[in-house]
């Protein structure tokens, strides 16, 4: 089972120079809770934005380039390798965490979407590909709590294909 997980601003912005353009601890906490003990797949630019592999997850980098990756990080050389991994373990959740090109490649076969929408606009260089939500059912929406640490209004949305 393949799930996409991301946060975006009102304009669909998801990144700036390989980093998130905002700091929203509630979103990071949700990301950790959902992805812990699962496989996470990302492009090499997204992985480069982390200083090291994310702990307690099986980190996988999808790239056609031959990469030198730290111990414990696996490389997928093609999208077909991801499809084969999913087919071999259809009941296991695989989270795709970015970037834009990886999201776009995986979206046609994704089973779930976990989106955080931030009610603000930011500057950046990476946007979420357009998603036709008529192919998706919203199964959960939760308003986030705005406070000193989480200064932006936001909400979590969970979708299933169907």
User: Count of H helices and E strands in the chain?
Assistant: 4, 10
Residue 162 CA to residue 160 CA, distance in Å, equals 6
Element (H, E) at 137: strand 136-143
Reported confidence tier of residue 22, pLDDT bands at 50, 70, 90: very high
Give me the pLDDT at residue 105, please: 97
pLDDT one-digit tens code per residue, 73-128: 999 999 999 999 999 999 999 999 999 999 999 999 999 999 999 999 999 999 99
Residue 134 DSSP symbol: G
pLDDT classification of 18: cutoffs 50, 70, 90 = confident
Full set of structural domains in the chain with CATH: 29-154 (3.40.430.10)
């Amino acid at each position: 089972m393949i799930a996409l997980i991301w946060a975006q601003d009102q304009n669909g912005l998801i990144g700036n120079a390989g980093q998130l353009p905002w700091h929203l601890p509630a979103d990071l906490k949700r990301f950790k809770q959902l992805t812990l003990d699962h496989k996470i797949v990302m492009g090499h630019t997204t992985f480069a934005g982390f200083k090291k592999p994310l702990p307690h997850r099986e980190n996988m980098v999808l790239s056609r380039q031959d990469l030198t990756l730290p111990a414990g990080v696996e490389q997928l050389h093609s999208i077909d390798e991801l499809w084969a991994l999913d087919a071999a373990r259809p009941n296991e959740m695989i989270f795709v965490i970015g970037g834009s090109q990886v999201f776009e490649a995986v979206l046609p076969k994704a089973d779930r979407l976990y989106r955080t929408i931030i009610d603000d606009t930011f500057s950046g260089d990476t946007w979420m590909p357009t998603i036709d939500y008529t192919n998706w059912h919203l199964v959960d929406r939760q308003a986030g709590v705005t406070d000193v640490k989480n200064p932006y209004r936001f909400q979590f949305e969970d979708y299933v294909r169907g």
